[in-house]
Amino acid sequence: MKAAVFREVGQPLEVEEVSISKPGPREVLIRTAAAGVCHSDLHFVEGLYPAVTPMVLGHESAGIVEQVGSSVIYVKPGDHVITCLSVFCGHCEQCVTGHMSLCENPELRRGKDEQPRLMQDEKPMQQFANLSSFAEQMLVHEHAIVKIREDMPLDRAALIGCGVTTGIGSVFHTAAVEPGSTVAVIGCGGVGLSCINGAALVGAGQIIAIDTVASKLELAKTFGATDVINAADVDPVEQVKELTNGGVQYSFEAIGLKTTAEQSFRMLRAGGTATIIGMIPVGVKIELTGSAFLQEKKIQGSNMGSNRFRIDMPRFIEFYLAGKLHLDEMISKRISLGDINEAFVDMKSGSVARSVIMFDH
């Protein structure tokens, strides 16, 4: 099969022939239909997060089941599925206490004494996030997928696999935003737009979108933003405080930068909560004013929207089909696998919300 291979930090990905193993007892082979290009992939290409190479990147995807292992009963060939990088075992402490997105059980991956899922010239290749969806096929654990209705377009379903679930889940689950409350979202890429959409779905009273790209701020209004701030022109913290008479109850940082993470905390009112969704690079520290904690301000992280993806993702599909979840507007470009490096350039320029790789089979 063809796959986009990451070999060296800072270098373009190359589309190469890669071998994929056959499903083990609890594994599923999927024909990839669509894969979103997410900022998390770019973090590894740029060396902001460590990686063992060669590796096939990609983690936001949907496809059709081709084969199943001998013990798999959840899906069968022909079923449509969305993948999720927060694979769960179902029996560790995190899973049984309701924190499935934090499961790190090694049994979900193949052991060192087993044949790797991906190989090239008899040499192992690394599988990214237990998925590696920048490829024509994926071989995954059965707990990395959710079965979906077949009338859901797979290019839009792919977005639910990461960005949408991360953004909406951070609102629904991590922060538990209350109806009528004030919300600010820093960063209007795919995750930030989903966060805005989620805030609108729960009935937030005021939703402030913050970015430095005017076109993204216009798009944010479509997703539910009631106010927009161009941080290239004004101090976003002061502007938020002015718009809300003192600060928001909930803020979300959807970029992954030190400056914006600190801003998300500073724009809170007393008792407010800042949720960091963006992937802040390894080793970067953020600075907070200690006295602000006397006002019961809080800052927290969110991993994949604290999801329960087998419950959440089918619900998000129903929201989309009912016209409440804006996925059509999020797709800026549909591209081929060979256009992956151009998609990263577009992402860095801020000119797109999401590029989606479409696979022709």
Give the active site residue among 101, 103, 132, 162: 162
**Amino acid, single-letter form, for residue 147:** K
Residue 99 annotated among the catalytic residues of the structure? no
162 is an active site residue = yes
* Catalytic pick among 38, 103, 188, 195: 38
59 is catalytic: yes
Instruction: Out of 39, 40, 61, 332, pick the active-site residue.
Output: 40
- Among residues 39, 59, 80, 326, the one annotated as catalytic is 59
Q: Which is the catalytic residue, given 39, 43, 143, 326?
A: 43
Does 40 qualify as catalytic in the annotation?
yes
Give catalytic residue positions. 38, 40, 43, 59, 162
